[in-house]
Amino acid sequence: MSLLLIVLLPFIGALFPALMIRVGRNASAAAAFFATSLAFVLLMSHAPALFRGEVLQAGWEWLPGLGLNVNFLLDGLGFFFAALILGIGLLIIVYARYYLSKDDPVGVFYTYLLLFQGAMVGIVVSDNVLLLLIFWELTSLSSFLLIGYWKHLPEGRQGARMALAVTGAGGLAMIAGMLLIGDIAGSYDLSVILQRAESIQASPQYLPALVLILIGCFTKSAQFPFHFWLPHAMAAPTPVSAYLHSATMVKAGLFLMARMWPVLSGTEAWFYIVATTGLVTMTIGAFIALFKDDLKGLLAYSTVSHLGLVTMLFGFGTPMAATAAVFHVLNHATFKAALFMSAGIVDHEAGTRDVRRLGGLMHLMPVTATLAMVAGASMAGLPLLNGFLSKEMMLHEAASTAWLGQGWVLGTAATIAACFSVAYSFRFIAHVFMGPIRKDYPHHPHDPPLGMWIPPAVLVVLVVLIGLFPDTLAGPLVAMVARAVTGGQVLDYHLAQWHGFTPALGMSVVAIVVGTLLIRSYPRVRALWTAGPHPEAKRIFDGLITGAVDIAQRLTHGVHNGSMQRYLAVMLSAMLLLGYFVFASSPNAPGTRALMPASAVAVVGWVLLMGACLALVLMHQQRLLALVVVGVIGLIVSIGFVYLSAPDLALTQISVEVVTVILMLLALNFLPKRSPRESSTVRRLRDAGLAIAAGLGVGGAAWAVMTRDAETLSGYYLEQSVAGGGGSNVVNVILVDFRGFDTFGEIIVLGIAALTIFALLDGLMVSAAGRRLQSWRPDQARAADRHPMMLAVATRAMLPLALMVGIYIFLRGHNVPGGGFIAGLVVAVALIVQYMASGFGWAAHRMKVDYHALIGAGVLVAAATGLGALVAGFPFLTSTVWHLDLPLLGELHIASAMFFDTGVFLVVVGATMLALANLSRLGRHAEHLLVNREPMDVDPSRPSFAAGEH
């Protein structure tokens, strides 16, 4: 439970900053801090057990059929990463409070940050790879929000998009890889997968799985050639950069390599892919970092380089290298977060982060300068600091590992990378903080408030302390994590500054000397760099994206260019093709069932349907006539339902037909009354052929199904209807009980559709289309008779009758044809008729019902019915039946499904009325007619009429 809580606390906490911002920025930050520290304390409470070597597990089944379980596992590795994520998270929360300005939406920031934090913690404590993938995708999404936090900056938006595209694509590859691994291991639980190293490495699917998973890791951890998104993500606010690029996001890839290390590592493929990628990334990153003028750009490439370093160490596949990797993850997180925060302080106080415009800041902001210089020295790998320790270990491992049989390759390359690393670190120190004070800073630099420099100070203290007392402070932790990574191997080593005169020491000295020389002659080195080629990753990426979009668009527009004919032709051809293949590849003898005799009346109905279809084809260019003929088709279909014993369907069809005609006529008012002839004769022949073939195909399929005896579902429903649903009308019981959850979803969709119609039309009134509508002139003559007396009187008399029928159909619905849906349509039509007879203004004035509220109320009533079952201890929407014996009325049968049906009824009435009323608003908007006060044009009972002055 406690494990689940550690993961959930950031997510729960994410709700509060956005709410607390109403109280103030401090309250918002405090809420975020509180949630994170709770999770942190909870995590720390498990530390003693973990140091004793225990592993904590907790799990719940989620979708056991898919192998997706909510299983958590906290071992040394997970603990280490979770502690980094939450610990540095706390510092970032404090730092961000002072970094973000008054204009930035702070509440949203903390909410994004906590969402991201929760997703990260989820990754590191997941015991199920599918669950891990879910959290993995969540980090991609939440980091997208964080990187694009400054929405007004195009760089921020583009950087966020690039990060999402690259890490999202990697995530897709990783899903495939994880599925392969789970398939080989027979389980998606990590604890099981980790036991199956041998069978996984022996499987032919090992290589594809390895490559796919590594693509996921490399994109996330910005390994060459996917490294380019990281520098562009620097457009984010500095707290985000400090968090994402020191301790969390980019470390997720490293974490996964460490997590899967016992299973995947140790093969040649692993070594050559991972170690080589790491080596190239480390060298290129360090090289480019030397020439970045933007402080954060410099740190970004430095991060790329250090991530490469750790990747390379994991790639070596030896337990000692993995230990060094773990130690460097810790050291890099401390000094890099401190450096990012210092860079943010410089940017904040001096007004620029361009190295060329800075210098001499040591005298103006001594505290910041001290912090940044100590952390920078650690990044360079100078002795006495923690960066030195892990870099020594790395150089030692590189020097003692052979690559393609050559012992010198890795050592030399690592030394070269170390030289650049020293050089860019020194540049960061020398060109920003040393030198004379300048006159031309954009702001007047000074040290920031306490809250802004305390977080980096905490980290710098760690940098120094771990550097001085590595074995005491970091030893047990590193040993525990290394044990978890390597699967329990105990190694003989100790962390120390001095190991004697080793090759690694020599390489360090070379690196420091060469790095210093590089910086002393920086202008010349820079000139050499400027002369060389500079492939611009962003342009290549943009080109790729544009190309992909182009292809996708050409494909889409080729199939679906907005022409209904084209769209239908493609769809029908595909259906015909598929149908033909199935038909040709399976037995297709005629069915054996005896045919029923066709009565003369049925034949007449058939002739009517065919005649109406023919009429539609002939008259389709006159749109009003086409609508009239469609009405005939609906009519025949309705009696077809009656004839084939489906009275519920018939009732629904009849009411739907009426509403459809009204809806179409409302729209047709603004459309041309004739469709022009647009297709060539050849096209029309093609379309006719397709239509006939598809029609024959569907008819044939229906024929084939109906002439065969098959077990159908209806038997079950017929048996269970009264027993399980308490009603004898099977159709209604299916709607409100058996498939009640579907109906619940459907009424929500219906409500949403109606609200969308409202929103679209409401927006239309004020848009350019609204102005066009204002100048619209009717294209047909208007009769003077707006509201004929006969219609008004007839509909008024009909209203109570129609409502009565509606209630009657509703009440009987559970046992005989009827129900909420049909009743809703009936009532809606009865009300619409009043609008038609006396005009919208007059009728709306007398029916003050808010249709929006009606839809909402309907959904709520249905939900409340369903929840009622839940309260009583049954699954959602289980129905019950009460039998009451009332005086006068006799026995009364009440099903809880009736309340659910009430919800359906309300939504149907609300949605129909809302859609029709809003469509009719368009017409009123366009024609500028006065709203009539009287229900009809001519009213003999009106006094003014008697006086002859109407």
Partner 1 sequence: MIDHALDFGLAAVSLALLLNLWSLFRGPTTMDRVLAVDTMVINVIALIVLFGIREGSMLYFEAALLFAMFGFVSTVAYCRFVLRGNIIE
Q: Which stretch binds partner 1 (CB under 8 A): 175-183, 415-423, 424-432, 645-653?
A: 645-653
| Beta carbon nearer to partner 1, 878 or 932 | 932
Binding flag, residue 836, partner 1 (CB under 8 A): yes
Q: Could you tell me the smallest distance in angstroms from the CB atom of residue 8 to partner 1?
A: 52
Contact call for residue 811 and partner 1 (CB under 8 A) = no
Among residues 187, 223, 390, 638, which is the contact residue for partner 1, using CB under 8 A? 638
Alpha-carbon distance of 492 to 52, in angstroms, equals 19
Nearer to partner 1, 707 or 728 (CB): 728
Q: Is 924 in the site for partner 1 (CB under 8 A)?
A: yes
Candidates 310-318, 376-384, 601-609, 880-888: pick the segment binding partner 1 (CB under 8 A).
601-609
Judged by CB, which is closer to partner 1: 412, or 932?
932
Question: What are φ and ψ of residue 706, in 5° steps?
Answer: -75, -20
Nearer to partner 1 (CB atom), residue 505 or residue 619: 619
Cα angle 559, 562, 566; round to 5:
50
The token pair that represents 823 in the structure block: 């009743």
The distance of closest approach from Cβ of residue 813 to partner 1 in the complex, given in angstroms and rounded to an integer, is 11
Cis preceding linkage at 225, omega within 30? yes
Residue nearer to partner 1 on the CB measure, 902 or 920: 920
Q: Is 785 in the site for partner 1 (CB under 8 A)?
A: yes
CB 914 within 8 Å of CB 758: yes
* Site membership for partner 1, residue 607 (CB under 8 A): yes
The answer for residues whose C-beta is within 8 angstroms of residue 210's C-beta and 6 or more apart is 177, 264, 267, 269, 270, 273
Work out whether 671 is an interface residue with partner 1 (CB under 8 A): no
Residue with the two structure tokens 């289309």 = 769
Instruction: Provide the b/e sequence for 800-824 (b: ≥16 CB within 10 Å).
Output: eebeebbeebbeebbbebbbbbbbb
Work out how close the CB of 543 gets to partner 1 at its nearest, in angstroms, rounded to a whole number. 53
- Smallest Cα–Cα separation from 398: which of 416, 378, 423? 416
Q: Which of 631, 697, 770, 856 binds partner 1 (CB under 8 A)?
A: 631
Which listed range, 40-48, 71-79, 604-612, 879-887, lies at the site for partner 1 (CB under 8 A)? Answer: 604-612
Nearer to partner 1, 356 or 848 (CB): 848
Cβ atoms of residues 602 and 643 within 8 Å: yes
798 binds partner 1, rule: CB under 8 A: yes
The tally of CA atoms less than 13 A away on the side-chain side of residue 148 is 15
**Contact yes or no for 466/328 (Cβ under 8 A):** no
Could you say whether residue 661 binds partner 1 (CB under 8 A)?
yes
Q: How far is the CB of 702 from partner 1 (least distance, A)?
A: 23
Q: Which of 625, 637, 691, 789 binds partner 1 (CB under 8 A)?
A: 625
Is residue 237 within 8 A of residue 99, CB to CB? The reply is yes
Residue 704 lies near partner 1 (rule: CB under 8 A): no
- Per the CB < 8 A criterion, the answer to whether 50 and 79 are in contact is yes
Tokens of 166: 């690259």
Interactions with partner 1, residue window 894-923 (CB under 8 A): 916-917, 920, 923
Torsion of Cα atoms, 329 then 335 then 340 then 342, to 10°: 170
Our finding on whether 643 is near partner 1 (CB under 8 A) is yes
Residues 393-412 that bind partner 1 (CB under 8 A): none
Please enumerate in sequence order all residues whose Cβ is within 8 A of that of 215, keeping only pairs 6 or more positions apart, or say none: 170, 173, 174, 177
Does the protein bind partner 1 through residue 783 (CB under 8 A)? yes
Residue 826 engages partner 1 in binding (rule: CB under 8 A): yes
Q: According to the binding rule CB under 8 A, does residue 818 interact with partner 1?
A: yes
Residue 815 Cβ, how far from partner 1 at the closest point, in Å? 12
Residue 615 interacts with partner 1 (CB under 8 A)?
yes
Q: Cα dist. 169→149, 161, 175, 251, 677 in Å?
A: 22, 12, 10, 17, 46
- What separation in angstroms does the CA of 903 have from each of 853, 867, 879, 910? 12, 13, 14, 11
Q: What crossing angle do the helices spanning 154-185 and 129-147 adopt, rounded to 10°?
A: 180
Residue 264 within binding range of partner 1, rule CB under 8 A: no
Nearest Cα neighbor of 935 from 848, 816, 845 is 845
Judged on CB neighbours under 10 Å (0-12, 13-18, 19+), 603 is: exposed
Which of 229, 840, 851, 900 binds partner 1 (CB under 8 A)? It is: 840
Among 778, 860, 880, 946, binds partner 1 (CB under 8 A): 778
Contact between 816 and partner 1 by CB under 8 A: the answer reads yes
75 binds partner 1 (CB under 8 A): no
Segment interacting with partner 1 (CB under 8 A) among 502-510, 832-840, 861-869, 870-878: 832-840
Distance CA 770, CA 763 (A): 8
Using CB under 8 A, which of 142, 221, 655, 902 touches partner 1?
Answer: 655
Interaction of residue 430 with partner 1, rule CB under 8 A: no
Q: Which amino acid is at 923?
A: G
User: Which of 445, 515, 751, 839 is close enough to bind partner 1 by CB under 8 A?
Assistant: 839
**Does residue 789 interact with partner 1 by CB under 8 A?**
no
**Would you call 223 exposed, middle or buried from its count of C-beta atoms within 10 A (0-12, 13-18, 19+)?**
buried
The yes or no reply on residue 604 touching partner 1 (CB under 8 A) is: yes
Q: Which residues bind partner 1 (CB under 8 A)?
A: 600-601, 604, 607-608, 611-612, 615, 622, 624-625, 627-629, 631-632, 635, 638-639, 642-643, 647, 650-651, 654-655, 657-658, 661-662, 665-666, 668-669, 778, 780, 782-783, 785-787, 791, 798, 801-802, 805, 809, 816-818, 826, 829, 832-833, 835-836, 839-840, 916-917, 920, 923-924, 927, 929
